[in-house]
A and B are shown apart, each in its own frame.
Chain A
Amino acid sequence: MTVSPPASGPDVVVKPRASRARLWTRSAAAWLLALTILAAVFAPLLAPADPGQLTLDQLQPPGADHLLGTDALGRDVLSRLLFALRTDLMLMVFAAGLPMLIGTLIGAVAAYYGGVLDAALRWVADIFQALPVYVLLIALVFVLGPGTSSLLVAFSVLGWVVYARLIRTEVRRVREQEYVSAGYLLGLSRTAVLFKHVLPNSLRQSFVYLATDMGMALQGIAVLSFFGLGVKAGTPELGAMVSEAQLYLRSHWWLAAFPGVTIVILGSSVAALGDRLSGRGEVGR
């Protein structure tokens, strides 16, 4: 535990100065992510056209009528992109958040109470480590059938183990802190101590990983949709848009380029913020 003295004494905690480039990246990432979320939230207001509206203006290049052009069915690419952000951000949050919720609960309970439960968790975690997760992900979605809910089920089934493993280590550390046994002596039940004292002090690593995981989930969703295993056909989704653009890659670059670049930007923004999260908070521990 670092104790930072109130005034500047000889022991003042000196934060290592982040390089200028890194600072810039982080603030850019934060702005981009904020912008993306706003764009997704206000998509119905911002979109110049109905994303599902078919027109005869097919495969128009970017221009004054259609800022980012139109696709093979004459749909406005900008509008589809904005609505795709909604789909992807939503899926991203749940595809990473659900596994975190499940894994954290299982891992925390197992680590806190120990015994058979904990041994079983370790056993399962070891097995999962030996499995090719992405192959299984594709297989699982294939079996469950394409669609949002099977995506989330697949991500949860395969993703919870990492969170369980992370929280297990932390809970076992925090469990030994003296305020934990003090809480029990003061009259809280063991379960209340777990949720009031142990969990809140064990979650940091999990949140750091969550940020990384969201980036991976985003790409996983895009990849699955690219293969036609993601969202329902016709739903605006970044991966699906890239997939539909395959045929026109040489002649109509904008169809693949805009959603593709969006995936890259969104993914790296989330990753950069995760990086920032893991760098901060060492002080005050």
Chain B
Amino acid sequence: MSRRVIEVEGLVAEYPVRVGFFRRRRVRAVDAVDLHLGRGEILGLVGESGCGKSTLARVVVGLASPSAGRVLLDGVPVPSRRPPEMRRRVQMIYQDPGSSLNPRRTVLQTLAEPLRRHRLVPAEGIEGRALELLEMVGLGRRQLPALPRELSGGQRQRVAIARALAVEPEVLVADEAVAALDASVAGAVLNLLRDLRDRLGLTVLFISHDLAVVRGLCDRVAVMYLGSVVEEGPVSEVFAQPGHPYTRVLLDAVPSRGRRHPGVAVRGEPPSPLHIPSGCRFHPRCPEATALCGESNPPEARRNAQRVMCHFAWRPEHAAEPHGQVSARTSPTRTA
């Protein structure tokens, strides 16, 4: 992995909510997250809905400002209100193809606006460049004068990608970009993303709740639970030897043929970020939790490029051990 395009350091994102009639509280949607994206890499970010994936995405692109921590672009910390030139470098692709395009604008108008705004091409070259962008995402001249309502969901998503590419960004943040599409259309859009990475050297932060998709597309994966990253590493390692019980639960929930043992089920619903459990935030639902898990924050365990935040990383059999013996960094050499 080459240089880091984006680094996220100790990021905290909060938003106010009303509890009761007068009282307001701040909810931590993202709590002390560290992440980085190498140039040309596709990082998958997975987790249940409500775990803070989208909030993290909004902070990374600059739609929301962090309460603490910082985002670095090419090693340079970005201000909380980014100037247009800086916003340009990180673009977002949204989930809902129905609302990602202005319904009153034709495709040409949609693509022309960012080109004009940044004077990326001379005025007479705008239509040509728009067509070029459309062809890059697998559409053509026929779609130029179309309004969004005349396009299918997959076509709209392609236009949204073309619009993001118009400003020649370095990073694309795709927030559940294929969740609303049919399987076949979703596959085509995923191929497009991979293709764009290969051809343009784009870096992609791919947010999804679909592990199968992440396995097929991404180089690395980060697993989020209730606002923090619990496991992170290369896809091949994380999927082969998940270190965190939550990751194992997620993987077991993916239906697959030829699985021998029945999956481990998680207990209960994900707790609300208004009431974050003490210690390891997963412990109330963890099939392997001990008393220790509820008391102290889990340490970081590392193995190769894999990072896991768990007292008993890679060790599902730990339950037999008395928890007093378990020290912070026991795991790196052992295998499950």
A186 and B63 in contact (CB under 8 A), knowing A178-B96, A181-B92, A201-B102?
no
Contact with A along B169-181 (1 / 0, CB 8 A): 0000000000000
Is A53's beta carbon under 8 Å from chain B? no
**A186–B100 CB distance below 8 A:** no
Interface residues of B in 152-171 (CB under 8 A from A): 160, 163-164, 166-167
Is A179's beta carbon under 8 Å from chain B? yes
Distance A177 CA – B150 CA, assembled complex (angstroms): 19
Is A134's beta carbon under 8 Å from chain B? no
Interface residues of B in 84-99 (CB under 8 A from A): 84-85, 87-88, 90-92, 94-96, 98-99
Is B101's beta carbon under 8 Å from chain A? yes
Interface residues of A in 1-30 (CB under 8 A from B): 1-4, 6
Is B79's beta carbon under 8 Å from chain A? no
Is A249's beta carbon under 8 Å from chain B? no
Q: Distance (Å) between the CB of A8 and the closest chain B CB? A: 16
User: Among the interface residues B85, B88, B149, which one has the most CB atoms of the partner chain A within 10 A?
Assistant: B149
Is A63's beta carbon under 8 Å from chain B? no
Is A197's beta carbon under 8 Å from chain B? yes
Distance A182 CA – B88 CA, assembled complex (angstroms): 10
**B63–A181 CB distance below 8 A:** yes
Q: Distance (Å) between the CB of B201 and the closest chain A CB? A: 20
**B100–A1 CB distance below 8 A:** no
A187 and B84 in contact (CB under 8 A), knowing A178-B94, A182-B163?
yes
**B167–A187 CB distance below 8 A:** yes
Q: Distance (Å) between the CB of A265 and the closest chain B CB? A: 35
Q: Distance (Å) between the CB of B29 and the closest chain A CB? A: 17
Interface residues of B in 108-132 (CB under 8 A from A): 113-114, 117-118
Q: Distance (Å) between the CB of A24 and the closest chain B CB? A: 31
Nearest A residue to B103, CB-CB: A201
Distance A6 CA – B155 CA, assembled complex (angstroms): 15
Q: With a CB–CB cut-off of 8 A, which chain A residues contact B167?
A: 186-187
Contact with B along A237-253 (1 / 0, CB 8 A): 00000000000000000
Is A185's beta carbon under 8 Å from chain B? yes
A197 and B87 in contact (CB under 8 A), knowing A182-B94, A185-B61, A186-B113?
no
Q: With a CB–CB cut-off of 8 A, which chain A residues contact B104?
A: 200-201
**B103–A185 CB distance below 8 A:** no
Interface residues of B in 56-93 (CB under 8 A from A): 61-63, 84-85, 87-88, 90-92
Is A257's beta carbon under 8 Å from chain B? no
**B166–A186 CB distance below 8 A:** yes
Distance A181 CA – B166 CA, assembled complex (angstroms): 16
Q: With a CB–CB cut-off of 8 A, which chain A residues contact B88?
A: 185-187
Q: Distance (Å) between the CB of B166 and the closest chain A CB? A: 7
Q: Distance (Å) between the CB of A4 and the closest chain B CB? A: 7
Contact with B along A188-227 (1 / 0, CB 8 A): 1100000011001100000000000000000000000000
A182 and B160 in contact (CB under 8 A), knowing A1-B149, A6-B150, A187-B84?
yes
A185 and B87 in contact (CB under 8 A), knowing A3-B149, A4-B149, A178-B94?
yes
**B63–A179 CB distance below 8 A:** no
Q: With a CB–CB cut-off of 8 A, which chain B residues contact A182?
A: 92, 94, 100, 160, 163-164
Q: With a CB–CB cut-off of 8 A, which chain A residues contact B164?
A: 182, 186
**A187–B92 CB distance below 8 A:** no
User: Among the interface residues A1, A179, A183, which one has the most CB atoms of the partner chain B within 10 A?
Assistant: A179
Q: With a CB–CB cut-off of 8 A, which chain A residues contact B160?
A: 182
Chain B residue total in the interface (Cβ 8 A): 31
Nearest A residue to B84, CB-CB: A187
Nearest B residue to A200, CB-CB: B104
Q: With a CB–CB cut-off of 8 A, which chain B residues contact A196?
A: 113
Q: Distance (Å) between the CB of B62 and the closest chain A CB? A: 7
**B102–A185 CB distance below 8 A:** no
Q: With a CB–CB cut-off of 8 A, which chain B residues contact A3?
A: 149
Contact with B along A267-285 (1 / 0, CB 8 A): 0000000000000000011
Q: With a CB–CB cut-off of 8 A, which chain A residues contact B87?
A: 184-187
**B103–A187 CB distance below 8 A:** no
Nearest B residue to A284, CB-CB: B149
Nearest B residue to A190, CB-CB: B81
**A187–B102 CB distance below 8 A:** no
Q: With a CB–CB cut-off of 8 A, which chain A residues contact B113?
A: 183, 186, 188, 196
Interface residues of A in 147-191 (CB under 8 A from B): 177-179, 181-189
Q: With a CB–CB cut-off of 8 A, which chain A residues contact B96?
A: 178
Q: With a CB–CB cut-off of 8 A, which chain B residues contact A177?
A: 99
**A178–B100 CB distance below 8 A:** yes
**B84–A189 CB distance below 8 A:** yes
Q: List 22 A-B contacts (CB under 8 A).
A: A1-B98, A1-B99, A1-B149, A3-B149, A4-B149, A178-B99, A178-B100, A179-B102, A181-B63, A182-B92, A185-B63, A185-B88, A186-B91, A186-B117, A186-B163, A186-B166, A187-B85, A187-B167, A188-B117, A200-B104, A201-B103, A284-B149
Report the 8 A-B pairs with minimum CB-CB distance, sorted nearest first.
A187-B84, A178-B94, A186-B114, A178-B100, A177-B99, A179-B102, A1-B98, A187-B117
If A1-B99, A187-B87, A201-B104 are given as contacts, then 14 extra A-B residue pairs at C-beta distance below 8 Å, sorted by A number, are: A1-B98, A2-B149, A6-B150, A179-B101, A181-B63, A181-B92, A183-B102, A185-B61, A185-B92, A186-B113, A186-B117, A186-B166, A186-B167, A187-B85
